[in-house]
Amino acid sequence: STVYRMCAISLGEPPERFDFLARVSDDDKKNDKKADEGKSDNPKTGKDERRQIRETGITPMEFYRKYVPVDVDDLVTLCNVPMASRPFNKRYRIRYTANVAEAEDMEFVNVPLDVFKKAAVDQISAGHPIWFACDCTQFSLRAAGYFDCDSVRVDQLFGTDFDFDKAHGLEYGDSPSNHAMTLTGVNLDEQGKPNRWKVENSWGKDNGEDGYYVASDKWFDRYVTEII
């Protein structure tokens, strides 16, 4: 009750009901040039004839049930944590990770890299984007929109090899999961193996290509640790 009171003082009481209005943009941006404009679609009538979502007096739970057609019980968290202390094909629970009221701590199944990547490819191929966690600070060209281990050749710069693998990076805190993004596409080679991934970030359209990045498969192997 104390935490709720503090949040209510800072953010206001959560609404029991609310009104909602949103335009539905056309996937083809050429046919939806006015999607972000505040003008009516039909200047003669002054009416906005574009598709809209309009709700009046809807509750948060009603909105969720109507517009979020996802059963979260159908989703599982897979991780690739190749540490000797975390054997594969076992379920783990991370203490003190519950951040939703009445929810339990986060659980995941630790799987080998080949299983991890196949699950990602299969889910994208089925038309479902993937939430994923990674170390976004490593070999990241933010403005250009690339995640690639060869983007900065630190081995050539310093004249030495850097032998930390994924397990070492996780164990010693060198490459922890510090950011979440969305995998929206994957490119497969002639053998059907992934060689690069399409990533949607949340840092605005000025980063990457309209907010999208390309991640090499080598970078995915090394720095992506969790998918849902």
CATH superfamily, with its number, for domain 72-227 = Cysteine proteinases (3.90.70.10)
Note the pLDDT tens digit of each residue in 98-141. 888 788 899 999 999 999 999 999 999 999 999 999 999 999 99
Domain boundaries, the chain: 2-67, 72-227
Could you tell me the sign of the dihedral formed by the alpha carbons of 154, 156, 157, 160, in that order? positive
Tell me if residue 67 falls in helix, strand or coil.
helix
Number of residues that this document lists for the chain: 228
- Taking a C-beta distance cutoff of 8 angstroms, is the pair 107, 77 a contact? yes
Arithmetic mean of pLDDT over the chain: 89
**Residue bearing the bigger pLDDT, 43 or 154:** 154
Note the pLDDT tens digit of each residue in 51-101. 789 999 999 999 999 998 888 889 999 999 999 999 999 999 999 888 887
What percentage of the chain exceeds 90 in pLDDT? 68
Tokens of 13: 């009481």
Residue 28: the pLDDT is 47
Tokens of 223: 């720095």
Whether the pLDDT of residue 32 is over 80: the answer is no
